[in-house]
Structure 1
Amino acid sequence: MTITILITSDLHGRLDRFEQLFHQMKSLKADLVIDNGDFLDGSPASFYYKHISNNEIQPMITLANELYDVAVYGNHEFNDHLPNIKKLHSQFRFPWISCNIGDFSKPYYTKTIRGRKFIVIGATTHFTPLWDEHGYLTDLSFQSALKSIQHWVTFVKTYEKPDYLIVAYHGGFSEDPLTGAIFQERIGENEANEILELTEDIDLLITGHQHLYFNKRIQQTLTVQPASHGKGFIEIQVNFYGETKQSSGKFHPLKTDHTSYPSEVERWLDEEITYIEKDYTYEGLLKARLTSHPYIQLLHDMQIKATGAQISVCDLAFLEKGGFKGSITNRDIVFNTREHTLKVISLFGFEIKQLMESSAAVFALNNEGKIDFRTNVYPKTPQPYQYDFWGGLSYTIDIRNPVGKRVKNITFKGEPLKDESTYEVVLNSYRLTGYDFPLLKNREILYETAYTVFFLLKGYLKNFMPIDVPHHGSFKVID
């Protein structure tokens, strides 16, 4: 007897791809279909249906209701107020589960298929509250995913006696379980390694969150991660031979990526906001971070105008290219922004220097003596997305110096930055979670914008952008 299981994860609202995946998956007539979290948030379509459209039910939910048996809460399921989360999830006709969020949801799901009992235990990375930008999750308690999984595996083995036990964990690996390559320290965000090492009797471990593809048997446990953003899905075949069972996984890629969003979304995305003759584009993940350029000055100008802060801190989306030139549409702005608000805090000069040094630590000299991202040279080091640009200041980053002593000649309005003076600084709301920079955690907020960066930038481009954006300081990175 063969049982077919289909798995997706981290779709992030890619309705354009999901419409095709839906038909590919339906054609296989699976017995059990699971989504492993981060289902809706993170695409132009999800932004449109959340903030612009009057549709009561998103098309992606309508399709999901015809496909899935169960889904697991991912960290991005919690990007809203709890009442809004509960209202949204009431539209799904299948359960959402997680065993490590107290009584917020059921810990596991049971389905009997041709006389065989399948149980899916869900779990969510317990780092989720650390990314809570607005205090949405203060009433929820996230426990260790590892300890909760161990508890519920023991429970269902004792009382439910499943024929096939699945753990669907919205979290990933701290180390490659095959090669030992280190992705990050074992800090608790991604506990799949520990789950495999310390938990017995799991037939299938589904992972996610890291947007990787993985399909290997680790010891006795088939372990998978089905990529992300609708690039494909994993099919699991479970064969029962009397009291024995065997399972194997196969990745099904999206058949074609020539997809588009529904016409109403495409029309809104292509709506022109304004036209700019000057070139505000950039190219190169590394190159764009090594020198000041017009697009960064544009962001600083927008943030300072929106908040009245003295100093602006911004980062770039982790893209090979971005920015604006010519006709600017909603699509361009969505592509270049994320759903953060802006917040103003007060920082001492010495704190600013510490933060700038932490940011400068993302660089290193590679084996050829050239500037590179530190992650390409050393493991377990700061990630490129932890790099910030500081507007209103002029400074130099010297990569030849050791980490912590790289940022030189910092000036504010032509004068050296003073350690004991305070400055009003604007940052996005994610930075102020303190996840990447603990110094920023629990700071007093002097001012917060009512709108997210998308709406602030759109308003700036349409109504307030000067012909020539002023320079808010300058910097250079030298080797």
Structure 2
Amino acid sequence: MKLVILHSSDTHGFLMPTDYQNKDNYDAPISLSRVSSVVKSEKEKYGADNVLVTDSGDCLQGSPLASYTQKLPEDEGLRKFTEAYNEVGYDARALGNHDFNYGLDYLSYYVDNNRAPFINDNVLDADTNVPFFGKEYTIVEKAGLKIGIMGITTQYISHWESEDHIKGLKFVSGYEVLAKLAKKLRPQVDILCALYHGGFESDPLTGKATEPHTGENEGYKILTEIPEIDVFLTGHQHRRLNLVTRNTAIVQPGYRGEAVGKVIIDFDKDTNGKVKINEMTTELIDSKDYAPDPAIEKIIKSLDEETQKWLDQPIAHLSEPAPIDDAIKGRIEGAPFINLIQQMQLWFTGADVSATAIMSESAHGFSKNVTMREVLLNYPYANQLCIVKLTGKELKEIIEYSAGFLEKDKDGKIKFIDRWITPKPMLYHFDLFYPVKYEADLSRPVGHRLTKVTLNGKDLEDDKVYKLAVNNYRALGGGFYPAYSMDKIEKIFDQDYVQMFSEYLTHGDIKVDTAKNYKFY
């Protein structure tokens, strides 16, 4: 006898098979519509009563369609958006950190209008310490088995999200709550699953640390210290994972609906009803091999058409383009688009220094005629701008940390160290700084690479306080940088980056700074 579990995560609002780079291309190997076809095909193959379908969040934000939907009244946009997810036929879901980006009212509408229950064990009401959303757990019967499902999200949301978006909430360790709940549920079920919008802080096979153990990702700790869990359904890191280790099946299905995680549990049940698991296998089903689901396309068609029209709206005209021809090269060598972001951040804040990262590997910067499409493809995140007060010593520590992302290969070519490329590309953590002029010698030890840091021709003073313009994700701890903390934030601006670009690019003539202010050697 077989139970099949299908798992999606991090679809980020890519409901149609397009990345919106080209409005006429709907052949992208991604999308919820392809995920839905995978699910329906597998249910036909195994029988719907033998297939459990789950998702671990990050659905509401990330695509141009999601951005446009958020601008509409909920009954017009979010209703259709939610119907598309309902069409997949999920049995249980969990929340992701980006699902909080548009505030609690928006998220509550989405949760309330989903047919599948949201399982939430570690996002609590700050006053009562009970789950703020959804159910503590659910028990689903499939293939004659009782399947317990727990659900958690990364506790680090409070480090990234603006206070008004999470007011009244308390985020606690997913490990801590699952350790208790798993013991309670295990005697009641045949199979115990954990839905987790989070990933692995250490390699699940070797235990080698793959990132600082900050609590953002607790997957390895959960895997190794909560043996009651049979199936671990993960997300957040956008990794492609499928393996069985420590008697636990693990999947993580990538990003934007590129794959569906599949767990097959082969089992026997004796005359007393006791279940014996014979074997667990895992795989990733690439959704590119499945045609988009017409039912989802029908639901979303009008919303998608409106999104494409919105994306082609001109926002501003620049006297010269601000390109970034290659994201990797631009980070290392500089690019006009990077400078333009820095100029914008300084214009809004009046800060002394600006820090920014390239947020998309497909970023190409702005043409002379800037459209909403260009803005969203270059800066897809719903971040907010902050002013952070730092001493010169702290600012230099931050710049030093960023210089630690780089190394030289045997041929002397500058490249990013593997830690920021594998197991998950995380180059959106690599910040550049402006208008400080700085140089870093990559042959020197990490933390001691800066050979020059000046502002307006003067060295940064260790004890002097400077104002830094940077996004709230970084200011609240994203990227593991030193020196940042909530108490150093002087101001958080209400607008997101799309709104800021719209205002900045239309306020008057803009001269894009094309000079390079940093050097790695």
TM score, norm. by length of structure 1:
0.89
**In the alignment, is the contact (CA less than 8 A) between 1:111 and 1:119 conserved in 2?**
yes
Once residues 361 and 127 of structure 1 are traced to their aligned partners in structure 2, the CA distance between those partners, rounded to angstroms, is: 23
Q: Note the C-alpha offset of 1:146.
A: 1.9
Identical positions, percent = 29
Label 1:51 to 1:290 Cα distance change in 2 as closer, same or farther (>3 A): same
The equivalent residue for 1:64 is 85
User: Offset at 1:446?
Assistant: 3.9
Asked if the contact 1:21/1:230 (under 8 Å) is kept, the reply is: yes
- For the Cα contact (< 8 Å) 2:249–2:263, is it kept in 1? no
Which residue of 476, 479, 486 corresponds with 1:433? 476
Q: Which moved more, 1:255-264 or 1:68-77?
A: 255-264
Output aligned runs, 1:112-127, within 5 Å: 112-113=141-142, 115-127=144-156
Aligned residue number for residue 47 of structure 1: 67
Superposition deviation, residue 380 in structure 1: 11
User: Does the 8 A contact of 2:404 with 2:446 survive in 1?
Assistant: yes
Equivalent in 53, 57, 66 of residue 33 of structure 1: 53
Per the TM alignment, residue 352 of structure 1 is displaced from its structure 2 partner at its CA by 2.0
Counterpart position of 1:149: 178
Counterparts of 1:112 and 1:83, CA distance in 2: 32
Do structure 1's residue 249 and structure 2's residue 279 form an aligned pair? no
Q: Distance in 1 between matches of 2:436 and 2:500?
A: 22
Q: SS at 1:356's partner residue? A: helix
Q: CA deviation at 1:138?
A: 5.3
The 1:445–1:157 alpha-carbon spacing in structure 2 relative to 1, beyond 3 Å, is: closer
The equivalent position to 1:24 in structure 2, one of 30, 38, 54, is 38
**In 1, distance between residues paired with 2:310 and 2:425?**
37
Which residue is 1:283 aligned to?
A: 325
What is aligned with 2:15?
Answer: 15
Find the aligned partners of 1:125 and 1:376 in 2 and give their Cα distance. 21
Alpha-carbon contact 1:280-1:324 (below 8 Å) kept = yes
1:4-49: per-residue Cα shift (whole Å, max 9, x none)?
3321111111111112322332233333211112122211111111
- 2-structure distance, mates of 1:21, 1:434: 33
What's the offset of the Cα at 1:279?
3.4
Q: CA deviation at 1:427?
A: 1.4
The count of corresponding residues between Structure 1 and Structure 2 is 475
1:109 aligns with 2:138: yes
1:347 aligns with 2:390: yes
Relative distance call for 1:250 and 1:405 in structure 2 (3 A) is closer
Query: Are the equivalent residues in 1 in contact too, given 2:421–2:427 (CA < 8 A)?
Result: no
**Aligned mates of 1:354, 1:348 — CA distance in 2:** 10
Decide whether aligned partners of structure 1 residues 56 and 270 sit closer, same or farther in structure 2, where only a CA change above 3 A counts.
Answer: closer
| 2:441 maps to 1:398 | yes
- Deviations along 1:304-359, whole A, 9 cap, x unmatched? 22222232222211415421124322111011112112122333322222222122
Structure 2 equivalent of residue 140 of structure 1: 169
The Cα shift of 1:154 comes to 0.8
Cα-to-partner distance string for 1:87-130 (whole Å, 9 max, x where unaligned): 33212122111222342242211112354211111122222322
* Structure 1 equivalent of residue 114 of structure 2: 92
Q: Which moved more, 1:127-136 or 1:302-311?
A: 127-136
- Contact kept, 8 Å, 2:244 with 2:280, in 1: the verdict is no
Structure 2: distance between partners of 1:395 and 1:449: 28
Of residues 455, 460, 469, the one that matches 2:504 is: 460
CA distance in 2, matches of 1:476, 1:303: 18
Give the distance between the partners of 2:422 and 2:42, measured in 1 at CA. Answer: 41
- 1:77-476 aligned within 5 A: 77-102=99-124, 103-104=130-131, 105-113=134-142, 115-134=144-163, 136-137=165-166, 139-158=168-187, 160=188, 162-178=189-205, 182-243=209-270, 244-245=276-277, 246-255=279-288, 262-276=304-318, 278-337=320-379, 338-375=381-418, 384-435=427-478, 436-466=480-510, 468-470=511-513, 474-476=516-518
How far is the alpha carbon of 1:475 from its aligned partner? Answer: 2.2
Cα drift, residue 185 of structure 1: 3.7
Deviation string for 1:35-82 (max 9, x for gaps)?
A: 112122211111111125662534331022231121012222222433
Measure how far apart 1:288 and its partner are.
1.1
Deviation digits for residues 227-250 of structure 1 (CA, Å, limit 9, x no counterpart): 221102123333442233344334
What is the rounded CA distance, in whole Å, between the counterparts of 2:425 and 2:371 in structure 1? 34
Residues 401 and 482 in structure 2, CA contact (< 8 A), matched pair in contact too: no
CA change 1:414–1:21 in 2 (3 A) is same
Q: Decide whether the 8 Å contact of 2:357 with 2:430 is kept in 1.
A: yes
Offset from partner CA, 1:207-246 (integer Å, 9 cap, x none) = 2111112222213222222222110212333344223334
Aligned alpha-carbon RMSD (Å): 2.9
Q: Do 1:362 and 1:382's aligned partners in 2 also have CA atoms closer than 8 Å?
A: no
Instruction: Give 2:211's aligned amino acid.
Output: Q
Give the whole-Å Cα distance in 2 for the aligned partners of 1:350 and 1:372: 27
Q: Distance in 1 between matches of 2:424 and 2:411?
A: 19
1:449 partner SS:
strand
1:464 is paired with a residue whose SS is coil
Q: Which amino acid aligns with 1:198?
A: E
**How far, CA to CA, are the matches of 2:3 and 2:426 in structure 1?**
41
Residues 291 and 475, structure 1, Cα contact 8 Å, conserved in 2: no
| Distance in structure 1 (CA, Å) of the matches to 2:199 and 2:224 | 14
CA–CA separation in structure 2 for the residues paired with 1:330 and 1:184? 35
Per mean C-alpha deviation after superposition, the further-off stretch among 270-279 and 300-309 is 270-279
Please list every run of 5 or more consecutive structure 2 residues that lacks an aligned counterpart in the other structure. Answer: 17-30, 125-129, 271-275
Q: Which moved further from structure 2: 355-364 or 385-394?
A: 385-394
**Are 2:362 and 2:377, in contact at CA under 8 Å, matched by a contact in 1?**
no
CA displacement at 1:455 relative to structure 2: 1.2
